[in-house]
Amino acid sequence: MFATLSDRLADTFKNLRGKGKLSEADIDATAREIRIALLEADVALPVVKEFVGAVKERARSEEVSGALNPAQMIIKIVHEELVTILGGETRRLRYAKSGPTVIMLAGLQGAGKTTLAAKLALWLKDQDKTPMLVAADLQRPNAVQQLQVNGERVGVPVFAPEPGNGTGNPVEVARASIEEARRKLHDVVIIDTAGRLGVDETLMQQAADIRDAVQPDEVLFVVDAMIGQDAVVTAQAFLDGVGYDGVVLTKLDGDARGGAALSIRSITGKPVMFASSGEKMTDFDLFHPDRMASRILDMGDMLTLIEQAEKAFDSEQSMRAAEKLATKGGFTLEDFLQQMMQIRKLGSMTKIMGMLPGMGQFRDQLENFDEREIDRIQAIIQSMTPAERDNPKIIDGSRRARIAKGSGRQVSDVNQLVDRFFEARKMMEQMANGGGMPGMPGMPGLGGGKRAGARQQPAAKGKKGKKRVSGNPAKAAQQQAAEKAAAAEKGANPFGNPDGAEVDYEKAAEQLNLPKDFSQFLK
């Protein structure tokens, strides 16, 4: 959704890197680029003016002029201002103190109200609520049937006394639904109302009549995030004609420029409360302004990723896998397959990777990622015998040919999967045992950047079995540090201090060939 805006802002910030102090010309140039980026993203002009003005004012202040890294300070300011125009804090639903909480959905036809009603109902079920859907859209053909199908998919009952298709009284249906909810002990009622292709008096009057009849606790305006500036115009028309408490953005997974999301809050003063970002019923959640701002600036959205993982992952299964990783060779292809199936529950791999910081630079690769690759890996592993999954080392040439034939893949695909599994298991075992990430030179316990798979030669020995010391001072220091680290594992002090004496961490950092700053890390 925000790809164009993210790319433009990233290019803008690149021009600031390495500058110890920002001049007036730098600030003006940055503000101009931000203005262009927002306008290209279809953000409303009044919002652009307000946003750029706030950024320029703060950029000229002491917080930037006195900063050690002005470029990072500008990014921080832009992030904070984005959070502000997106609504500041996350707005949550208000629930009725007594009786069922009534939520009324309003919006134009085609915005996705009927599908969103079912998504909201499923989300409420996960919040330990007992929602009921109400089919009050009696105008659009098959709208009632669509809501009934969606209700069945998410396991939520649908109150639909009228068949719709142009017949029935939606106001009476909405009014009767409240009594039905009380009778069947539903604590939330979600009313799906009719829309129109455009704003007109009939649409507004019907929505206002339903509102007056049921006195909803929340009126949510549902808007298609892909319609750009028209979203702001429509939002203002509904605010004037019907009134609402919050906005729900649909189709955030589309390829639109995203200006509606950045404009509606500032123009209408009403917060964006929910966002729908896919076709699945689970592609729906609260709208968090700070997380959305981080995504726009390619800072990732780790909090959302963690929350989704907590819902999808089996904690006991993950603990068993972690215990196996602590044992050399304990993690098998069967464990790997189970973990992969849990990851699949999170949804599209492209979306998951997109939540990681800095992935904007790999957007092309992510967009071209073939989601079916996971199915191919699953087919290969499931074509193996239990013994082969438990001990992949026994998979010789003939077995690989059989596995390839059984999974409909090439032998080279099987070879690649097995080789990658061994490499990944080795890395994960090292991390699980506190070794850190391999292949990162200059970090304690993090591999020296040796080529993957390279054979490690034993230390050369001189006369009488003594180890030979390198003539290169740097290598000699590394060799000495390695010997002291080995001695530490046997209970000796790695830095030559008598037992019980205070360790000189700065000296330790020096002996480990690390910057002195790492002395705090060693502590």
Q: Which residues are annotated as a binding site for GTP?
A: 107-114, 192-196, 250-253
Report how many helices (DSSP H) and strands (DSSP E) the chain contains, helices first. Answer: 24, 8
Residue 269 vs residues 153, 202, 236, 272: alpha-carbon distances, Å: 35, 25, 10, 10
Known binding-site positions: 107-114, 192-196, 250-253
Q: DSSP class of residue 503?
A: P
Using CB atoms within 10 A of its CB, is residue 200 exposed (0-12), middle (13-18) or buried (19+)? exposed
Task: For 453, list phi and psi in degrees, rounded to 5.
Answer: 85, -5
Strand partners, 131: 188
Q: DSSP class of residue 167?
A: -
Strand 246-250: give its sheet, edge to edge: 158-159, 131-136, 188-193, 101-106, 218-224, 246-250, 272-276, 284-286
Distance CA 146, CA 40 (A): 36
Distance CA 475, CA 200 (A): 80
Q: DSSP class of residue 246?
A: E
Distance CA 38, CA 35 (A): 5
Residues in the chain: 523
Q: Which two tokens stand for residue 66?
A: 């006195």
Which of these, 225, 227, 228, 229, lies nearest to 247 by C-alpha position? 225
Single-letter code of the amino acid located at 55: V
| Three-class secondary structure of residue 264 per DSSP | helix
CB 329 within 8 A of CB 107: no
Using CB atoms within 10 A of its CB, is residue 212 exposed (0-12), middle (13-18) or buried (19+)? exposed
Q: Which two tokens stand for residue 432?
A: 């699980």
Q: DSSP class of residue 248?
A: E
Distance CA 423, CA 436 (A): 15
CB 248 within 8 A of CB 192: no
CB 51 within 8 A of CB 81: yes
CB 90 within 8 A of CB 288: yes
Distance CA 2, CA 256 (A): 8
Single-letter code of the amino acid located at 422: F
| Three-class secondary structure of residue 199 per DSSP | coil
SS3 assignment for 401-418: HHHHHHHCCCHHHHHHHH
Which of these, 261, 224, 248, lies nearest to 5 by C-alpha position? 261
